[in-house]
Structure 1
């Protein structure tokens, strides 16, 4: 017959195991598009799975047929948009997403997340700067403005980077935004023109690449990096991205 003390020890061990094995937060990954499909998305998926395993958080992939609603989103702490494009949510899904953020949760956007849902003002206000045009992929120098932000502690103040640098419809500084990384326009050819009405103008001395801010009760983080598939194998980028995810999910820095 098992002793009372032995049973108590087993129960305590199981409780401790359950506490220790609990993942630190839950994330929903959205890669749905209604337009351009980025090649780097196919590199992002395994990279995100490895990141979740490395940092012990739960990661679920939203399937296209899976509707977003209050009940579903209640399971998550952060929603991550990687290379989403166009109108991906209907009105009911948009309302559920707004409630999610208003409840104190987080959003993370990567690259083409700023080329998504232009007609949803709440979303465009959350993103902050929406995509307008980009030049060809090339190398430039980027500057870190907040080395204390999670994931940027190991970055130098100035760093060489190869990617697709977006120009935004409005690149001016916005009140309440914390700008993390900018790109130096003097170090690359930012010129581009798509048809007669869409021509790059440049953002001048301040060209944002990554930022975060508190928004409508929750948190939002965005990084422009992530067009080149190999970026999702770059330890510096992955640390930068995880820092944004951790901040958006936990509100810690």
Structure 2
């Protein structure tokens, strides 16, 4: 892919199980990124029959799997997604996408780990790993970030292909089952392409938050093999109640 001109991004948000209320807010936020940056253009779809075919996917550099859940693709559509990745395509998977296609081993490896359960949402602390080396270029964590703190069916550290970006500080919230080391965002070179996953993003408020959307932006750019724009936001110590309510 030439590193010039806008590239195309498919935001795909079909659900066959739990459906997140934040899907519309997320689509609007990613569309706003495209408008402001002028580096990519966005199509949004939930029509797997038309969108998840080899010919349709060939026009995109990145697919954003936005809260996709359950068996949201059939066998032929998974094959098309696999062909897209093996042809060098990028995937950005957000939050609920880890609860998709539980019986498909390839999809689980693409995401990095499958969702298991989460405790009740509450504010907690996000810690940064590989701050100077990661593709997100995030120099600071986040205090009082309210989200669903996902636990996974396998520990992300056991997947040696993953490069962990963010961890949840398990002393700052309840219900973590991953041990003291709780990865919540990572990226990888995978099967010819690239994938980035974040477990954050349950609530609408995330998609109006600069710290969070900067990660989505850089995830898209990295997955498309474009150089992410470095951003060094400062830690936010705003009380969660003031920020969200």
Q: 1:77: Cα distance to partner?
A: 0.4
Q: What RMSD in Å do the two structures reach over aligned CA positions?
A: 1.6
Which structure has the bigger radius of gyration? 1
Post-superposition Cα deviations, 1:56-101, rounded to whole Å, max 9, x if no partner, equal 2111112425241111011000100111110111111111111100
C-alpha separation in 2, matches of 1:69 and 1:82: 18
Structure 2 spans left out of the alignment, 5+ residues: 229-245
TM-score normalized with structure 1 length:
0.83
Which residue in 2 is equivalent to 1:233? 208
C-alpha separation in 2, matches of 1:61 and 1:33: 14
CA contact (8 A) 2:50 2:56 kept: no
Match for residue 138 of structure 1 among 110, 122, 129: 122
C-alpha separation in 1, matches of 2:59 and 2:145: 36
C-alpha separation in 2, matches of 1:34 and 1:27: 22
Aligned length: 221
CA contact (8 A) 1:145 1:157 kept: no
Structure 1 spans left out of the alignment, 5+ residues: 1-21, 192-201
Which residue in 1 is equivalent to 2:242? none
Which residue in 2 is equivalent to 1:72? 56
Post-superposition Cα deviations, 1:149-175, rounded to whole Å, max 9, x if no partner, equal 34443x414543111110000124121
Q: 1:125: Cα distance to partner?
A: 1.0
SS of the residue 1:84 aligns to: coil
Q: 1:23: Cα distance to partner?
A: 4.2
TM-score normalized with structure 2 length:
0.85
Structure 1 residue runs of 4+, over 4 Å off?
none
Question: Is 1:36 the counterpart of 2:21 in the alignment?
Answer: no
Which residue in 2 is equivalent to 1:62? 45
SS of the residue 1:66 aligns to: helix
CA contact (8 A) 1:152 1:239 kept: no
